[in-house]
């Protein structure tokens, strides 16, 4: 089951969100060899989406979700949905986190 976490994105600015996965003893979960996929959509059934870049730092249990300023500039002021899926090197896919994305409009252009 995915963790529910809502994100706030500033339109026209770089976006970075870091997730640390730990095991039951509090040690970093080894996600070496894993790949990630994260998308933002206006609704769960929308065909159009915006991808977030996913970087996995294996032995540190770190996942970074990022979007550059040009990507966030194309997001309108609305509430979106998103999720992040990780796929292991044995091809098992798990949804790690999901929730809503709120976009704060920018003024400076």
Distance CA(60)–CA(62), nearest Å, equals 5
CA 43, CA 84: separation in Å to the nearest integer?
A: 15
Geometric angle at alpha carbon 77, from 73 and 54, rounded to 5°: 55
Largest CA distance in the chain: 47
pLDDT tens digits along 11-58:
999 999 999 999 899 999 999 999 999 999 999 999 999 999 999 998
Domain segments of the chain as ranges: 3-104
Q: Are 77 and 103 in contact (CB under 8 A)?
A: yes
Tokens describing residue 38: 């994260």
Whether CATH 1.10.150.120 fits 3-104? no
Which residues are 93's β-sheet partners? Answer: 87
pLDDT at position 91 over 90: yes
Residue 2: band (very low, low, confident or very high) from pLDDT cuts 50, 70, 90: confident
pLDDT at 78: 84
Q: What percent of the chain has pLDDT over 90?
A: 87
pLDDT at res. 1? 73
pLDDT at 71: 97
Q: 14: which residues sit within 8 A by CB, 6+ positions away?
A: 66, 67, 68, 69, 72
Nearest to 70 by CA among 31, 21, 15: 15
Q: How many CA atoms lie within 13 A of 52 on its CB side?
A: 28
């Amino acid at each position: 089951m995915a963790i529910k976490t809502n994100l706030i994105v500033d339109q026209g600015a770089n976006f970075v969100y870091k997730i640390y996965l730990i095991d039951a003893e509090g040690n970093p979960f080894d996600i070496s060899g894993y790949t990630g996929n994260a998308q933002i959509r206006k609704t769960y059934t929308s065909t159009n989406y915006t991808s977030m870049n996913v970087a996995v730092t294996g032995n540190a249990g770190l996942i970074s979700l990022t979007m550059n300023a040009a990507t966030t500039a194309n997001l309108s002021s609305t509430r979106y949905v998103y999720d992040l899926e990780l796929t292991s090197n044995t091809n098992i896919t798990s949804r790690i986190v999901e929730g809503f994305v709120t976009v704060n409009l920018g003024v400076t252009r």
